[in-house]
A and B are shown apart, each in its own frame.
Chain A
Amino acid sequence: EAQVTQNPRYLITVTGKKLTVTCSQNMNHEYMSWYRQDPGLGLRQIYYSMNVEVTDKGDVPEGYKVSRKEKRNFPLILESPSPNQTSLYFCASSLQGPPYNEQFFGPGTRLTVL
């Protein structure tokens, strides 16, 4: 089944403890992206990757890192999480990326930073 998977789905952690949220797609898509969703603020883009080894900042990249070493995986790294990073995170992938193709979203990761 074609899908975008994220792990973990739920995570509660403490301030400063490094964490990684994994994202994987099995559709051979070139484009992958991370978003955070907060009440009343919609979806805000954190980072995106047009292809392997090519990453770019979205609108809210501060406090996050990403890497794209292989096509199928695009992990989101929080080196020193803070409470303001408590949010619902979505990974998405697309054949070529907007504006060329629709994005397929994962199921989301709910992160709480205490």
Chain B
Amino acid sequence: GENVEQHPSTLSVQEGDSAVIKCTYSDSASNYFPWYKQELGKGPQLIIDIRSNVGEKKDQRIAVTLNKTAKHFSLHITETQPEDSAVYFCAASRTTTNAGKSTFGDGTTLTVKP
């Protein structure tokens, strides 16, 4: 089955700096890669996603890049703010066999210091 590894497990940055979180996946058939943000006491919420036919996607301060050959994808947050502090999860899934199955990384706790 799919295996998703996420690094780092914790990340601390100064307000205004950039933050990068990386994930690698094992199943070359995976073709959908979302990123979720989980604030304290709440359920995860989608912040950005990318499909395998796209190499990069950007939404204001957030961007995701995908390298299909190397089987890794990354979340980039620029100009970080204290409200970006949360746990971030990457995930991978596929449209073919086992469509509907979703594998998540172990999460990254991001702390933005004011």
Contacts and interface: CB of A to CB of B under 8 A. Distances in A.
Interface of A: 4, 31, 33, 35, 40-45, 48, 50, 56, 58-59, 90, 92, 97-100, 102-103, 105-108
Contact of B103 (A31, A45, A90): A45
A44 B45 CA distance: 16
Nearest to A98: B93
Contact of B101 (A42, A56, A90): A56
Main secondary structure of the interface of B (DSSP, over half): loop
A23 to B, nearest CB: 11
B100 A50 contact: yes
Given A31-B100, A33-B102, A42-B107, 15 more contacts: A42-B89, A43-B44, A43-B89, A56-B98, A90-B43, A97-B99, A97-B100, A98-B102, A99-B31, A99-B32, A99-B95, A102-B49, A103-B46, A107-B42, A108-B42
Given A31-B100, A90-B44, A97-B99, A41 B106 contact: yes
Interface residues of B, number: 30
17 contacts: A40-B9, A41-B106, A42-B106, A43-B89, A48-B100, A50-B100, A56-B100, A59-B101, A92-B43, A97-B100, A98-B100, A99-B95, A100-B95, A105-B36, A105-B44, A107-B43, A108-B42
